[in-house]
Amino acid sequence: MVRLWVFICLIVSRLLIVDGHAYAYRAFYAIRNMKSPDGRATNAVFGFVKMLAKMRAALKPTHLIVAWDGGLSVERMTALPGYKAQRPEMPEDLATQLDDIAEYLKAARIESFCEDGVEADDYIAFVARQSVIAGLEVVIASSDKDFMQLVSPGIGLLNPNDKTEKIWGDEQVRGKTGVSPEQVVDWLSLMGDSVDNIPGVPGVGPKTATDLVNQFGSVDGIYARLGEVKSERVRNALRDAEPDVRRNQELVRLKSELPWKFDADKLVLGQPDADVLAALFQRWGFRTMLAEIVASRQQQGELLPPG
């Protein structure tokens, strides 16, 4: 984790924003067949707690929030009824563990957000940009490529798929996409996003989209100078797909202007409730985590209630 310290060593206040569902899914599939003493699945809970602890140890955030999807955006569904329609239902064994993760976050004094009809991506964009205004450095923990559009001098990405464990900035976004963070929305709008069921321009993949954005600067630049596109096939495809590309820009662009008051103080990490955490770890059968709490309390000369 040495590389992370290069990013954080001079930062006084930093916010870690965790994409809740992304990490819950990641934990669920990384660990199999883990159950509590009463037979309930606990693999996602265990993995989530461990991954969060690892990120906190590396980044030393002063502020932290976990954001969860509260449903699909009505605006996006209206613009594209098939938006994210192909995604399978959440596995039942994972769904039953989300409440347990929420219990953990509450006991750990970590802020959590979920609002009906609000996609986590939009709320994360809102919190990230408001936090920069408030003077915080921001790290977004997610592998979702949509967040590359938010990268700026005050906002970085921690991509769990990147084994280098670097905080992504402009250089890493360009290395991944070939375009700047400011151009990511147009880049995605041209090639579409199969994960979100957003169709792009037929025949335009990542490389062609990169070449077009770099040549013309933006989607607006492409359509203002469409005649300069060398390939007739690509030129015709772009012309025919213009309404879809314009729609895609609105689908892909994260909505950071949300009607909420932002209060950075609510995101400050609080003192965990060790008694509640101990009870949770005992219920879930997390013996090592329980032992760590007991040892810590004993060092402080405190006793946990018998359980």
DSSP secondary structure string, 173-222?
A: HHHHHSS-GGGHHHHHHHHEETTTTEE--TT--HHHHHHHHHHHSSHHHH
| H or E element at residue 139 | strand 137-141
Token pair of 274 as six digits: 């060790």
What is the domain range of residue 23?
2-173+255-296
Output the pLDDT for position 71. 87
User: The domain that contains 56 carries what CATH number?
Assistant: 3.40.50.1010
Q: Is the pLDDT of residue 3 over 90?
A: no
What's the pLDDT tens digit per position in 81-107?
Answer: 988 888 889 999 999 999 999 999 999
Strand partners, 15: 63, 138
Selection from 154, 184, 195, 141 nearest residue 21 by Cα: 141
pLDDT grade, residue 303 (50/70/90)? low
What's the pLDDT tens digit per position in 153-166?
Answer: 999 999 999 988 89
> Do 14 and 120 have their domain in common?
yes
Selection from 60, 143, 119 nearest residue 256 by Cα: 119
> Do 245 and 114 have their domain in common?
no
What's the pLDDT tens digit per position in 44-70?
Answer: 999 999 999 999 999 999 999 999 999
> Do 37 and 139 have their domain in common?
yes
Average pLDDT, the chain: 92
What are the C-alpha distances in Å from 102 to residues 68, 98, 108, 158, 195? 10, 6, 10, 22, 26
Output the pLDDT for position 7. 46
Decide if 306 is inside a domain.
no
Output the pLDDT for position 301. 66
> Do 16 and 128 have their domain in common?
yes
Output the pLDDT for position 1. 46
Q: Is the pLDDT of residue 306 over 60?
A: no
> Do 240 and 261 have their domain in common?
no
CA distance 162 to 160: 5
What's the pLDDT tens digit per position in 233-261?
Answer: 999 999 999 999 999 999 999 998 887 88
Q: Is the pLDDT of residue 9 over 60?
A: no
Output the pLDDT for position 50. 97
What's the pLDDT tens digit per position in 201-225?
Answer: 999 999 999 999 999 999 999 999 9
Selection from 113, 110, 131 nearest residue 52 by Cα: 110
Number of compact structural domains in the chain: 2
CA distance 77 to 90: 19
Entry pTM: 0.91
Amino acid at residue number 299: Q
> How is 84-132 classified by DSSP, letter by letter?
TTTPPPPPHHHHTTHHHHHHHHHHTT-EEE--TT--HHHHHHHHHHHHH
Output the pLDDT for position 45. 98
> Do 76 and 44 have their domain in common?
yes
Angle at 195 between CA 194 and CA 199, to 5 degrees: 30
What's the pLDDT tens digit per position in 164-210?
Answer: 889 999 999 999 999 999 999 999 999 999 889 999 999 999 999 99
> Do 227 and 283 have their domain in common?
no
> Do 139 and 259 have their domain in common?
yes
**5 or 32: whose pLDDT is higher?**
32
CA distance 285 to 273: 18
> Do 186 and 163 have their domain in common?
no
Selection from 118, 105, 104, 140 nearest residue 69 by Cα: 118
Residues of the chain with pLDDT > 90, as a percent, come to: 80
